[in-house]
Amino acid sequence: MKPDEKPVILLDGNSLSIEDIVAIGIGDKQVALAADALERCRASRTFLEEEIAARRIIYGVNTSFGPMCNKIIEDSEVEALQVNLIRSHAAGLGEPLKPYIAIGVLVIRLNTLLKGFSGVRIELLELMREMINHRIAPFIPECGSVGASGDLIHLAHMALGLIGEGRLYDGETLKPADEVLKAHGLAPMRLSYKEGIALINGTSAMTSLAAFALFGAKKLLRLACVTGAFSLEIFGGIDDAFDEDLHAVKPHPGQVSIAETVRRLYHGSANITPRSEMHERIRQQQQDGPVFETTINVQDVYSVRCTPQVLAPVSEAIDLAVRTVETEANSSNDNPIIIPERKKIIHGGNFHGQSIAFCMDALSMAISTLCNLSERRINKLLDPKLNEGLPEHLIPGTIGLTMGFMGAQYLATSTTAENRQLAGPVSTHSISCNASNQDVVSMGTVAARKAFKAISNAKHILTLEVLADLQALSFRNADGLGAGTGRIFTILNRDFRVYDNQRVFHDDLVRFRKLLFSSQLFDDLAVYWREAG
């Protein structure tokens, strides 16, 4: 492979993963079109042409759209019909989707069309491929989709670029679409029947947003297991809260998995308090009288002890969302659906985004729960009444003259509150529109945008928790860390400096947030996960 070439993902309509979407979106990989998928597309187009020649009435081909579907269009106007649909529905406002997410939209739409049930021509698929591989991203405003007849507004903006109208990102620069296509030796499409509605009548925008959200959510969950293990070791937590037999009698899959992960992380630690040794240590403090008070915790606080139970539904919500999003990304979700081998053109509602909406609402709730846990552990580290002998606000210098993590805690508190608000569901807020033709809508793209924002916020909070953990470990227990926590501490500590009030805290946060959620760091951590089993 030449140095300037990138690995290629073969799009076939059936096997696109979240990791693929992200890798293509950020420019790490390119795409090619599977030969068998192209054959299915040719068969679908041929059958559609036969049905049109037979004077069949087909929605969106020779009829108008939505509640105007009883208006039949003359053959001479079918091309104008498709272009008018795109221009009229390119009606979004707000900040544009990031170019990498917009390329993800293009990738998912191309993959769904490659299933071969949409009746589009090969030339359209090839243009979409070329735009992806040339890093030409559609300009897509974030607001407008109700997620019922798919992402009509978002995908209309995507389709504008394909016909040489509107604007496109050439790399990071926004330019007129026709100029960008010409600069890359590409010609805009002249749409034929069915192709306008096939492009915009689907769920690809919400699915791209959801894919990038989930990619971040999976990183957050892994990091939350690390910070959970760090907290256990910093405070000398008791081992039996993570005992395999404890979780076997409440066997939620996420709970069992999280407990096992944390056990692997602290395995071999000299900091953990074994329950078997605690009894004698407490008895050594016994005094005369009917009651005596020990300085040793008989049980840890919930933010330490209940990590598996709290993160269990988070893990399970992520797993469910991954299955849902990957199913959607490999589905035909426009209308009508053309199945040539069965001689069928089927009118239905595969464009509806309720599945994505529901799992994105659940993901927002899950991420809010993860943030609750992280924020409480940060508070325990900083509050001298709770932090079991650590310096107040983790201050390494003169307490009172220097502030340590006092100000930074507000970031975690306020952002956790914001994520609690974002956890409110939007998929239940159906509002009838389109002259009551779309009388039940999903709000799936709003839900996905909300989840994406919540995950970005959560990265702020986990970044601060990691910095607080490393600061706490600079005072105690770093030498006794377990095999997993020790290895991860070594990786993180390469870039960590104790905060001593000689720097602006914001700069540490920016640097560490980028480090924690960069691909390279998680590549390093992945070595540990694999070796740990």
Q: Are 41 and 129 in contact (CB under 8 A)?
A: no
SS3 content of the chain, % helix, strand, coil (to 5): 60, 10, 35
Largest CA distance in the chain: 101
d(Cα 370, Cα 216) in Å, to the nearest integer? 13
Q: How far apart are CA 489 and CA 393, in angstroms?
A: 21
Side-chain-side CA neighbours of 333 within 13 Å: the count stands at 33
DSSP codes joined into one string, 462-496: HHHHHHHHHHHHHHTTGGG--HHHHHHHHHHHTT-
Nearest to 429 by CA among 415, 406, 447: 447
Q: How far apart are CA 52 and CA 388, in angstroms?
A: 77
- The pair phi, psi for residue 318, each rounded to 5°, is -65, -45
Q: Cα 245 to chain center, whole Å?
A: 33
Do 137 and 168 contact (CB within 8 A), yes or no? yes
Q: Report the SS3 class of residue 177.
A: helix
Q: Are β-strands 136-138 and 93-96 bridged in parallel, bridged antiparallel, or unpaired?
A: unpaired
d(CA 150, CA 118): 14
Q: Is 55 left (phi over 0), alpha (psi -120 to 50) or beta?
A: left
Distance CA 215, CA 205 (A): 16
DSSP string, 392-457: GGG--S-BTTB-TTHHHHHHHHHHHHHHHHHTS-STT----BTTTTB-S---HHHHHHHHHHHHHH
Which of these is catalytic: 59, 100, 499, 528? 59
| Tokens 């340590």 belong to residue | 404
The answer to whether 410 is a known catalytic residue is: no
Q: State yes or no: cis peptide before 336, omega within 30 of 0.
A: yes
What amino acid occupies position 519? S
Instruction: Give catalytic residues, as residue numbers.
Output: 59
